[in-house]
Structure 1
Amino acid sequence: MKNVKKVVALAITSLMLVSSLGLAGCSSKSESASAGKDAVTLNIFQFKVEMAKELEEAAKAYSADHPNVKINIETVGGGADYGAALRAKIQSGKEPDIFNIGGPQDVKDWQSRLVDLSGEPWVKQAVDGVLPGVTVDNKVYGMPFAVEGYGFVYNKGIFEAAGIDAKNIKDYASLETAVKTLDAKIKSGELKSKYPKLEAVFELPAKEDWVTGLHASNAALGQEFKSGLEAFNAKKVDFKYGDGLKALIDLQANYSPSKDSKGKLNAVDYATQVGQGIAIERVAIIQQGNWIFNDVKKTDEKVANNLDILPMPIKGGKEDTIPVGVPMYWAVNNKGSESQQKAAKDFLNWLYTSDKGKDFVVNKFFFIPALKGYEKLQPKDALGAAVNRYVQAGKTSPWVFMGYPTGWGQKVLGLEIQKYLSGEEKWEDLVKNSQAKWAEMRK
């Protein structure tokens, strides 16, 4: 997979440059005839809770233009294990027509059900580097959701009130200094009048094993592996930057409301961290990405507009950086009827290449598109702008967790981190156990 900086720079640049590939000609209307004239029902099983309502609105807009197509959407995510839920869904015999895959490991796991999308119009509009992870033998099996970035999302107002200049936070040492300064001012009551609910610097949702086992670990493993494909082909994991990962986990735990009883962090979920955490200014920093903007906006638009992203610095590695990549891909199930497959492909084409669909993607989903042709639609949200800033500065690292062995990130490393936080095992045991399980799962 090509360098992430180039991948995402092209994605965001495409919002500003006029595409020379003729997308406007093919996106003015979707190929409604491809869905056929007979009534078709599409069942979509997807993971993005942050835009579930907006996706349903998009589906209604599509059906309004294609009255023969009815779309049902089921969303599982935000704390639930989407992969496990998808397996259960398919085993029940109620197979979705459109579902999500994460990358090379998922392509391997679901190969028998994936429709070849290589001939779809949007494929030629994909920015460089977003398709190799879902391409096998020159066949493309997934359509990229978007480009996303994550790091330490923080409240600029709280930092300003504490006299902390976020521009000076470029490595772990400066991050730690800022956290200690903020912690002292919270404890002293200095910020109480302006931020009465503020009780701690961080909130760490260790219950969400994807936050720790996938995203947090990627900050370290994204510097050990060059891409998701390299991670997918790796027979072992060295944890070269394991100490840096430990430092990031410890910093969040030690300056959280549960600092005196860290096992309680294993009960903290996404909603507590986001909607009941940073959105109400109960905490100042959380490890999350630009996808939370809509959730925070629904709680407090002023707070959402005052968010930004700090780097996720790994000591000994590239510190002034955030991980950037494609979160998931849309896949079409070949077990559906021919008319369902055609309608599924047409809906995805409409969603990402029609004027109506693009408006949903950028202005309602708050996505940074992974396709060209969005020159008139630039991201307007604060966190999308923050990701853009890191990309343009070349301060990114790749997403490699899509190449982890199936279940390893969440159900091995994520659970090991929970044991570490509760005091059940030492960090060195966490590393050894996770290394052994990776090697076992790669046999």
Structure 2
Amino acid sequence: MRVRKLFILFAALACVIIFAIYKLRQSSSSSQSVTTINFFNQKPEVAAGYQKLAKLYEKEHPNVKVKITTVGNGSGASSLQAKFVSGDAPDVVMLGGLPDVDRYRKHLISLNSMSIQKKIVPSLKTGAEIGSTLYGIPVDIEGYGWSYNKQIFKKAGIDPNSIHNYATFKKAVEKLNSEKKKLGLTAVFGFNGGDTTTIASYAAQFLSQHFKNNLTKAYYSEHLNWKYSKQMRAYTNLIKKYNVQPILSVKYDPSVQDLFFNEKVAMIPQGNWIIPTLDEADSSFVKDKLGMLPFYVGNNKQIMTGSSWYIGITDQHPAKEKAAKKFVTWLYTSPESQNITVNEMRLVPATINYPLSKLPDPISKLVYVDGTSKNAFVPVHKEFPNGFTQEAIGPNMQRYFANRITWKEFQKLTSRQYYQLRQVQGGK
């Protein structure tokens, strides 16, 4: 009897051990079957949205984990470079246009075979294309022009539809200035002259059209084209005259969150990327008050549209390439993903034939219509040589704002520095 009890005890113990080994192996097997996709994001303002998308994707794809690393605000480029140098580059990377694409293209796979690339707005593709190879998918369409307050214009008796060239724009500015006390304005403009990035984006309004949406051509150019210098000077002088002073003290965040939102100025030169900030302060502001006017340069009557960021896939982990492609495709095609991207992250889709009715506000619709039209033109500021924004055109424009140099000196100095920087960098 005692032997029988011992036998039963050992048998039970054996069953427990066998079951434990089975579960351990099953757990190990399950763990090994999970593919982790590392995604490097350089836009902090949409980090929460990407985290939400990652969780949704993991729920729909149990064998995939999406790990998102966000580094932005000027540190993204150096952090991404460090990852490539270490030999452990992310699987999916956000790239800042052709300079990043050129720098890392030996480590990026061609996206030509991906079906999603056929749905991308054609004018945006050259921002991540070298030769005939596409290395990145644009994150969104960004529209850039004069963001203005529709209610202030209405109080001043200005019909935005009557503004169709520089002369009528200037007339509206002068009217706003003449009534600024009645309108409660500190000034007409809230141009943030203390920010060199804004200056570069502003300058792109006048330096881009020459390249006719060929950003590769812009990236390889050795010289700036000043065809529209006269118009650039006219706009710049108008800003100097009717801006919050001192203009060099105006920074980006205060220009949007204080001056524009609190209706101390009627206009700021910004794009639809300010929408999330305005939404956070007042969800009705964008719908009820935000309008956008183009810079009238040459024959252009549309806002400038393009994409500052592109999503690429690296060749660092070949076993993950298929999963990475599937994830990127899902980002652009899944209805659930598009809902979050458009309505929560407030990105305008970079794909053709997106239903206009699904865009949540008038500005997003305007950006999409202009960005997908045959007359769309894209900015070239991302294709400037490294350091040109911070070391050349930004400081030089600030000197002009401060009356320390003439326009002729600004143009000559900026051209020389552009050429010098291009000679020692990629893109020549």
Structure 1 runs of 4+ with >4 Å offset: 88-94, 388-396
Corresponding residue for residue 22 of structure 1: none
Residue 226 to residue 284, structure 1, CA distance change in 2 (3 Å): same
TM-score (norm 1): 0.79
Shift, 1:82, TM fit: 4.5
Residue 363 to residue 439, structure 1, CA distance change in 2 (3 Å): same
Query: 1:153 touches 1:310 (CA, 8 Å); kept in 2?
Result: yes
Q: Which has the higher contact order (CA 8 A, sep 6+)?
A: 1
Cα separation, 1, equivalents of 2:356 and 2:228: 41
1:292 partnered with 2:277: no
Counterparts in 2 of 1:351-430, with a 5 A limit?
Answer: 351-372=331-352, 374-375=354-355, 378-388=358-368, 390=370, 396-430=376-410
Residue 427 to residue 89, structure 1, CA distance change in 2 (3 Å): farther
Corresponding residue for residue 98 of structure 2: 104
CA deviation vs aligned residue, 1:175-212 (integer Å, no higher than 9, x gap): 122112112212x3x124xxxxx422221123332221
Cα separation, 2, equivalents of 1:183 and 1:169: 16
Larger displacement relative to structure 2 (392-401 or 378-387): 392-401
2:143 equivalent among 139, 149, 159: 149
Corresponding residue for residue 234 of structure 1: 221
Corresponding residue for residue 324 of structure 1: 305
Shift, 1:299, TM fit: 0.8
Note the residue ranges of structure 2 that are not aligned, 5 or more in a row. Answer: 1-30, 424-428
The amino acid that maps onto 1:262 is I
SS at match of 1:370: coil
More helix by share: 2
CA deviation vs aligned residue, 1:414-440 (integer Å, no higher than 9, x gap): 232223334443332221122112222
Corresponding residue for residue 199 of structure 1: 186
1:211 partnered with 2:198: yes
RMSD across aligned C-alpha pairs, in angstroms? 2.7
The amino acid that maps onto 1:379 is L
The amino acid that maps onto 2:183 is L
Corresponding residue for residue 41 of structure 2: 46
2:247 equivalent among 262, 266, 277: 262
Corresponding residue for residue 8 of structure 1: none
Query: 1:50 touches 1:292 (CA, 8 Å); kept in 2?
Result: no
Cα separation, 1, equivalents of 2:170 and 2:356: 40
Residue 437 to residue 361, structure 1, CA distance change in 2 (3 Å): same
Cα separation, 1, equivalents of 2:40 and 2:405: 37
Residue 98 to residue 164, structure 1, CA distance change in 2 (3 Å): same
Shift, 1:390, TM fit: 4.2
Larger displacement relative to structure 2 (395-404 or 385-394): 385-394
The amino acid that maps onto 1:361 is T
Query: 1:320 touches 1:395 (CA, 8 Å); kept in 2?
Result: no
Cα separation, 1, equivalents of 2:132 and 2:335: 29
Shift, 1:109, TM fit: 2.0
Query: 2:136 touches 2:311 (CA, 8 Å); kept in 1?
Result: yes
Larger displacement relative to structure 2 (126-135 or 146-155): 126-135
Number of residue pairs aligned between Structure 1 and Structure 2:
390
1:127 equivalent among 113, 121, 124: 121
1:76 partnered with 2:68: no
Cα separation, 2, equivalents of 1:293 and 1:407: 28
Larger displacement relative to structure 2 (52-61 or 160-169): 52-61
Query: 1:279 touches 1:304 (CA, 8 Å); kept in 2?
Result: no
Higher-Rg member (1/2)? 2
Shift, 1:339, TM fit: 4.0
SS at match of 2:93: strand
The amino acid that maps onto 1:313 is Y
Residue 429 to residue 145, structure 1, CA distance change in 2 (3 Å): same
Shift, 1:84, TM fit: 4.7
1:175 partnered with 2:169: yes
Shift, 1:413, TM fit: 1.2
1:441 partnered with 2:428: no
1:165 partnered with 2:159: yes
Corresponding residue for residue 224 of structure 1: 210
Cα separation, 1, equivalents of 2:390 and 2:348: 26
Corresponding residue for residue 20 of structure 1: none
The amino acid that maps onto 2:255 is Q
